[in-house]
Amino acid sequence: MVNIMNNTDIEVTVGSIPGRKAMLLRLDPSVHQALAEWAEEDSRSLNSHIELLLRDDLAGANRLPENVQPLRRPGRPPLTSYK
């Protein structure tokens, strides 16, 4: 479910993805636009692109937990996974 509170605040509630945390993230509209364009260039959703950037920063600071699950590759999953 997506709730748009105003033109810069979007709250996304994920009820069907086990092990994932939902959160509200407030961004400057220009930062949001830049991230959205970058994500599109990399064939990622904005959410997965932000998670990728956060993981990269955590890894660079030696703070990425050892038990973190790997990210899915960018783009659509292969057709064989649709059942």
> Shortest CA distance to 55 belongs to which of 76, 34, 39, 69?
69
pLDDT of residue 70: 87
For 30, left (φ over 0), alpha (ψ -120 to 50), or beta?
alpha
pLDDT of residue 13: 54
pTM higher than 0.75, yes or no?
Answer: no
pLDDT in tens, the chain (83 residues): 445 555 666 555 545 566 778 889 999 999 999 999 999 999 888 999 999 999 999 999 999 999 998 887 766 766 765 55
CA–CA distance, 12 with 9 (Å, rounded to integer):
10
